[in-house]
Structure 1
């Protein structure tokens, strides 16, 4: 299981516009909020995606991008995005390879039936590609605000660390 301090596994997946997103390309450029969710157009997933979209500019001010991943295909993501006016990037993991890589593809029980599905999980990955926070079994309501505080603190810590480093080198 992926732990805090681990290097985030890199991957490349298509988004709702069928353009590839490569996590490795974000190293040195952005913090990444990588969140996994079960399905487009379910109440909790819609709430979570809309909340992240509503606050995307706030995250961007702290050098952070938001990426959602589910097993839905690109066309379903595009319809979901357009129907709800979402601005965040949604990636398609139809084969659940990245879900497995991040250990969020897990057994679930729904209405007494056991099956595999995505455990709602969010990872905060810093600009160096290190997992700084792993939030498992999250509740969609208010989740974006809590994640934003983690990103804000992360960027503040980085800024303070850089100032201390500059003082030591002076």
Structure 2
């Protein structure tokens, strides 16, 4: 599966957040840059590290006019528990049928402990205010994800 092409409009989506509200890509067009990051599973160590560093960088993202949304195959209830347990200050979106992950090319074959299976591949997409895909981070490091994203935004977006 391939990622969407840089420079093209990002694939449209409408997903449900942790509060049961619909969130769409079009909600941000013309207003904010968008960091759409896909993570495998809420309440796991790597995903918690990644989410908490974004939480702790909320002011830096806000200062850059950037909204962060996390997407996983978890149900709405689990996303709500993740937010409550970690005090997260951004929306998490449920993609239980992984249709959006497939559109973005980050649902595919994974390997763990010698076993192969289909799953969500940790990937981040940076979308500009016009809705165009500007950057893909496909080798995400959970500990430095927030600074990697902020640095890219500083160097490439207004």
Does the alignment reach a TM-score above 0.5? yes
State the match for 1:7 in structure 2. 9
Instruction: Kindly indicate whether the alpha-carbon contact (under 8 Å) linking 1:12 and 1:23 is maintained by their aligned counterparts in 2.
Output: yes
Query: Number of residues paired by the alignment?
Result: 156
State the match for 1:139 in structure 2. 141
Q: Please state whether the residue corresponding to 1:68 is helix, strand or coil.
A: strand
Once residues 151 and 27 of structure 2 are traced to their aligned partners in structure 1, the CA distance between those partners, rounded to angstroms, is 24
Q: Please state whether the residue corresponding to 1:44 is helix, strand or coil.
A: helix
Q: Please state whether the residue corresponding to 1:98 is helix, strand or coil.
A: helix
Higher relative contact order (CA 8 A, sep 6+): 2
Question: Whose helix fraction is larger, Structure 1's or Structure 2's?
Answer: 1
Q: Please state whether the residue corresponding to 1:123 is helix, strand or coil.
A: strand
**By how many angstroms is 1:116 displaced?**
0.6
Once residues 156 and 77 of structure 2 are traced to their aligned partners in structure 1, the CA distance between those partners, rounded to angstroms, is 34
Instruction: Kindly indicate whether the alpha-carbon contact (under 8 Å) linking 1:37 and 1:121 is maintained by their aligned counterparts in 2.
Output: yes
Deviations 1:7-39 (A, max 9, x none): 101110000111110111211011000000000
Indicate which of 86, 89, 92 corresponds to 1:87: 89
Instruction: Kindly indicate whether the alpha-carbon contact (under 8 Å) linking 1:31 and 1:124 is maintained by their aligned counterparts in 2.
Output: yes
Q: Please state whether the residue corresponding to 1:87 is helix, strand or coil.
A: coil
Once residues 139 and 119 of structure 2 are traced to their aligned partners in structure 1, the CA distance between those partners, rounded to angstroms, is 12
Once residues 110 and 150 of structure 1 are traced to their aligned partners in structure 2, the CA distance between those partners, rounded to angstroms, is 30
Unaligned runs of 5+ in 2: none
**By how many angstroms is 1:152 displaced?**
2.3
**By how many angstroms is 1:154 displaced?**
3.4
Unaligned runs of 5+ in 1: 157-170
